[in-house]
Amino acid sequence: MRSVFDQYKQPENQLTHSLVCALGEDSDLLKRFIKEIAGAESPSKPLQIIEQQLPGEELICSEEEAERRGLPDACIHDGKSWALLIECKVMASLKKDQLRRHSSTAARRGFTDIHILVIGIKQPKFSLPNTKFHAWTEIYKWLRKQNSSEWAKRVAEYMEIWEAKMTEYLTDGNITEFNGIPFGDKEPYNYIRAKRILKLAMDNLRKCKILERDLAMDPSSVGRGNITGTSGTSVWDYLPIKVLDPGKAFTTAPHLTLSIKDDCVNALVIVPNAIRPVFRKNILGLGYDGFINLMIHLNRNLNKALRGASGAAPCVIVLQRRYPNQKSVPIIDAMLQYDLRTAFPCSANKKVVKTQSQWLTATYDALKHKNSNLQVAVGAIFPYKNCKAQKDAKILDYIADTWLACKPLLDAMIKD
């Protein structure tokens, strides 16, 4: 269904219109916006809000004409002396002269107390008197905090939808912030929305200095880059490890993956099928007993990392698949997924899972006698049904801790 805010063709104008509509409908929200965002004192007189025009002018119907004339995206004024001019940018560049023209034009209309608010992706390199800048992400965060305003909630949700639809247009930065993964019984899975959330999550995780320091995660990598597709039951991305040879596919080395699926979130360290032989050889070189000791270490680490994330579980996934062609969906020939706690008898585990160590034996045997397109993954699963940790931004801490808990596996593969 088309949003009530979709009244313009230009992306910047769509966002401005949604914000202006909310401010026009909610006077209390408008007062807080002027004080907390624009940093100005609101006059006691009734305020008017107009878009793509200045007071005293007829409405410019054409977006192109408004752009040509350099009109502000919105203007809040009292009809006499006070005016707040709003200029919104997403990908278009902002010029100092443009803001000066806005101010000069408003002054010629008789306004003497003029304020300018710029909303964009990045802070401009210049400054002007009575001019304040806020990133779209700050506006989004502010709107999310306005719990008493239904209109603020609508605009924040529209920004999320807009960002999901504009992934190809929005190539440099974000307009919203990661605040958890909402899917579950009350919020059906949506692939487009999942893509937006995944991008925000990965942008945050790339900035994690501990992952870079302890796991040699490469923060400069774009991962999968532009993820295509408009539907599906899962969307995923990866962070490579710096041992990856230049020019080689990421599947030739272990890597970190995050999947947002229709029933759960997975944070995994992948041992891919095409991994360099030396990495697999290093694991098998441990022998069966050494492999078991490694998994004991991982199980202990993962249980510690997931403490506080009730319902999450350490897991191992062994996957055999094949691809009819390069662009086809893989055919799953075999999959073994199990809670790693099943491998080791533990009094604490007995309350949750029963011991079945043969799953771990099967994993080692599959790696040792590999004769197919075989991938092994170790990490954690956060199921929507009985784990609520993913509904908060803190889920990123659990995801990072999950990867860090798997460091012994990476060390075993990448040892000198």
Q: Which amino acid is at 209?
A: K
258 contacts 274 by C-beta, under 8 angstroms: no
**Confidence grade of residue 53 (pLDDT, cut at 50, 70, 90):** confident
Range with the largest mean pLDDT of 34-48, 94-108, 164-178, 293-307? 293-307
Quote the mean pLDDT of the chain.
88
**Confidence grade of residue 43 (pLDDT, cut at 50, 70, 90):** confident
Entry pTM: 0.84
Q: What share of the chain is helix, strand, coil (3-state, %, to 5)?
A: 40, 20, 40
The residue-averaged pLDDT of 208-223 equals 94
Question: Could you tell me how many helices (H) and strands (E) the chain has, helices first?
Answer: 13, 11
Query: Rounded CA gap, 126 and 124, in Å?
Result: 5
**Confidence grade of residue 349 (pLDDT, cut at 50, 70, 90):** low
Instruction: Give me the pLDDT at residue 109, please.
Output: 86
Q: Which residue carries 């798997």 as its tokens?
A: 406
The residue among 122 and 67 whose pLDDT is bigger is: 122
For the chain, the domains span: 11-159, 178-413
Cα dihedral sign for 311, 316, 322, 325?
A: positive
Range with the largest mean pLDDT of 12-26, 215-229, 371-385? 371-385
Query: Rounded CA gap, 136 and 143, in Å?
Result: 10
Tens-digit pLDDT profile for residues 60-102:
554 455 455 557 889 999 988 999 999 988 877 788 888 888 8
In 14-154, the DSSP E strands lie at 48-51, 74-77, 82-88, 113-120, 131-135
The residue-averaged pLDDT of 225-238 equals 86
Tens-digit pLDDT profile for residues 250-279:
989 999 999 999 999 999 999 999 999 999
Residue 192: burial class (beta carbons within 10 Å; 0-12, 13-18, 19+)? middle
SS3 call for 408: helix
Query: Rounded CA gap, 123 and 127, in Å?
Result: 10
Instruction: Give me the pLDDT at residue 56, please.
Output: 63
Tens-digit pLDDT profile for residues 243-257:
877 778 898 999 999
Instruction: Give me the pLDDT at residue 6, please.
Output: 53
Instruction: Give me the pLDDT at residue 226, please.
Output: 75
Closest by Cα among 83, 92, 107 to 13: 92
Query: Rounded CA gap, 379 and 357, in Å?
Result: 18
pLDDT at 58 over 70: no
For the chain, give the longest Cα–Cα distance. Answer: 84
Which CATH code for domain 178-413? 3.30.930
Cβ-based neighbour number of residue 272 at 10 Å: 22
Query: Rounded CA gap, 197 and 61, in Å?
Result: 35
Closest by Cα among 230, 237, 287 to 259: 237
